[in-house]
Structure 1
Amino acid sequence: MHSILGCNHPTFALPWRTLLPSLVALHLLHLGSAQLRVVAPSRVVTAIVGQDVVLRCHLSPCKDAWSWDIRWIQHRSSGLVHHYQNGVDLEQMAEYKGRTELLRNGLSDGNLDLRITAVKSSDSGLYSCAVQDGDNYAEAVVDLEVSDPFSQIVHPWKVALAVVITLLVGSFAVIVFLYRKQAAQSRELSESFQPLPPPKSL
């Protein structure tokens, strides 16, 4: 009997030895899910009017986000720039319709990148990338700065002013040229018609 119990003892102890690492791993996994974060590698993204731009965010630790609820939100209006859930694109703000795309080829790796095409000056501002899967929720903020290099010189009133000044300067130059030409012609005429001196008397 003693030998049977002795032989069986390891068999009873084995599940506890294998269970302990499993419990530790499960606990660490739980902590990891509680500390889920969304990371923005570039907090500030710059673009020029008319360009396409990608706002980048990813999950940390990396998880497959294909079935998650992903929202890109514009801070200024609190409106939805893009809303994705479980493989489907949902409603969004009218001004972004047809101009945004969640890059799905990176979702399985935890990437939440959003492309905005043909950016406008009005697109400038802060954007939140918010994700949720059950009790897991996290978000990050990206600042999009859109510049218009021609905005300072293409104002209609500036164009009109430049045209008026050009016309005035051109008209003044023409008037001066005609005046000088007429004065020169007058001098030539007056010189050609000068009376001959009287003949000398003998």
Structure 2
Amino acid sequence: MAFTSGCNHPSFTLPWRTLLPYLVALHLLQPGSAQITVVAPSLRVTAIVGQDVVLRCHLSPCKDVRNSDIRWIQQRSSRLVHHYRNGVDLGQMEEYKGRTELLRDGLYDGNLDLRITAVSTSDSGSYSCAVQDGDGYADAVVDLEVSDPFSQIVHPWKVALAVVVTILVGSFVINVFLCRKKAAQSRELKRKDAALAELDEISGLSAENLKQLASKLNENADEVEDCNSELKKDCEEMGSGVADLKELAAKLEEYIAVNRRRNVK
């Protein structure tokens, strides 16, 4: 805000003797008691929740108001926000107790500035700055707007819309998840079916091979058995031949022995 208090008591370089006629003339031109005006900023005062804010206004013409009656009034309730009189702070509404301070350093210059600490959104609104002394009464209005950047007004239709959107998004996400899961399960089942078919094919081929091998083994077993029978027969025949040879050998030995005895005689 570009508003500054207008009362700052500038120093005069002209001698009082030069100013005195002007002051007397000014006093004579005023009909009756002197008129005062309270000047307030034309722009709205803005603040954020939790900040301290100063509501400014000042008298015109500037004058010392330390012994005046100064009131800051909340316009919507017409109740006192701060009440100052003759150097003493008086009663105020409960919501502002301990949160307001009239900046007394500026009272000598006609400044009526009020500080409000830790403002909230409920402090937003118009405030009347009023001053009364023996010369008269005047007031002005200061507008204050307190915003909360971390919150917003929630409308029922916005809540309903948010719920509907949340449900739709949730349903879409769930459907996508289920579709993907179903597709993955279908692919897994197809893979398992292919593996089982391949295993069945391999098993069928193995069984056929085993049957062929068993048949060959049976044939070989029969051949071996036939061979064994022939070998057994041959062995038997050879056994009988050996017996004959033994008998023949015995007879030869006996014949030789007889011939030897004959030769000796």
Tell me how far apart the structure 2 counterparts of residues 56 and 192 of structure 1 sit (CA, whole Å). Answer: 87
Cα pair 2:35 2:135 within 8 Å, conserved: no
Tell me how far apart the structure 1 counterparts of residues 53 and 32 of structure 2 sit (CA, whole Å). Answer: 32
Residue pairs, 1:16-165, within 5 angstroms: 24=25, 26-28=27-29, 34-152=34-152, 158=159, 161=163, 165=167
Q: How many residues are treated as equivalent by the alignment?
A: 181
State the identity as a percent.
Answer: 62
Deviates more, 1:147-156 or 1:94-103: 147-156
Question: Please, what TM-score do these two structures have when normalized by structure 2?
Answer: 0.57
Unaligned runs of 5+ in 1: 1-18
1:40-64, Cα deviation, whole Å (9 max, x unpaired): 1344111222222111001111111
The aligned counterpart of 1:190 is 193
Letter of the 2:56 partner, please give it: R
CA, structure 1 residues 41+22, in 2 after alignment: closer, same or farther (shift >3 Å)? closer
Structure number with higher strand proportion: 1
Question: Please, what TM-score do these two structures have when normalized by structure 1?
Answer: 0.73
Unaligned runs of 5+ in 2: 1-19, 206-265
User: RMSD over aligned Cα, in angstroms?
Assistant: 3.5
Tell me how far apart the structure 2 counterparts of residues 54 and 128 of structure 1 sit (CA, whole Å). Answer: 14
Tell me how far apart the structure 1 counterparts of residues 52 and 21 of structure 2 sit (CA, whole Å). Answer: 52
CA shift at 1:173, angstroms? 4.7
User: Is residue 178 from structure 1 mapped to residue 181 from structure 2 by the alignment?
Assistant: yes
Bigger radius of gyration: 2
CA, structure 1 residues 174+80, in 2 after alignment: closer, same or farther (shift >3 Å)? same
Letter of the 1:191 partner, please give it: A
Tell me how far apart the structure 1 counterparts of residues 35 and 104 of structure 2 sit (CA, whole Å). Answer: 24
Q: SS where residue 201 of structure 2 aligns?
A: coil
